[in-house]
Amino acid sequence: MSKPEFTPNEMMTIAASRALKNDDVCFVGIGAPSAACNIARLTHAPDITLIYESGTIGTAPDVLPLSIGDGELCDTALTTVPVPEMFRYWLQGGRITIGFLGAAQIDKYGNINTTVIGDYDCPKTRLPGGGGAPEIATSSQEVYITLAQSKRGMVEKIDFYTSFGHGDGGDHRERLGIDTKGPTLLITDLAIWKPDPVTKEFTVVSLHPGVTRDQVQETCGWSVEFADGVEETPPPTELELATLRDLKARTEAAHKGA
């Protein structure tokens, strides 16, 4: 039987979804994180609790939301709580096992910029901003990050610190009194990365099928470290691909008003 064909973005989303467990309580970012979290819910983690910044708890959208204010989230949630309760009781109370974020820029220590490209006072591009991501990055027990690789997005030094990762590396979080683990996983369209236990620099631990080390380095703005014995990411299964494609087809149809 021939293996199903897939795109790099599909591989990224599915690899990210596999990292989630059935008993996770996940604070979900819009975009790629939302797709990964809902694929997990629709496949191997049906009891995962998905929480969005607007206060929806245990949401199970039939289509991917356009924003945290999308009515689909509230319509399918177990309950909706006020935003102050969401942040103070759920997030800052330590009840979120995984914060799942995207990034416009990221550095090798998992610090995220979603605020501006260029100088803050006169930027080349002004981005949507942090929203709740700064609090998610410091208060979730762990943080997963997903983005497509490019030298523009994966940079030696980010232009603005929106969401704190491991700072300058090492014990920087601990020195600042942040007692959560911070970024523990980075999933791109080419590879899976984990922070070095000591330096906290993201290191490639798995290459997606057909991807070379040179491809990873060519699309990254810092000198990439590779773990000893880099593995190959298992390709998507037919079920995972079908679930993802069906979800995206439903989402496209809904957003077109079909």
Q: Which residues are catalytic?
A: 53
Which 8-state DSSP code applies to residue 30? T
Q: Which of 97, 54, 115, 104 is nearest to 185 (CA)?
A: 97
Which 8-state DSSP code applies to residue 123? E
Evaluate the CA torsion angle 12, 115, 217, 168 in order and state its sign: negative
CA distance 94 to 90: 7
Phi and psi angles of residue 134, each rounded to the nearest 5 degrees, phi first? -60, -40
For the chain, what percentages of helix, strand and coil (3-state, to nearest 5) are there?
Answer: 30, 20, 50
Give SS3 for 238.
Answer: helix
Which class for 76: exposed (0-12), middle (13-18), buried (19 or more C-beta within 10 A)?
Answer: middle
Which class for 244: exposed (0-12), middle (13-18), buried (19 or more C-beta within 10 A)?
Answer: buried
CA distance 42 to 237: 14
Give SS3 for 251.
Answer: helix
Token pair, residue 160, equals: 């603005």
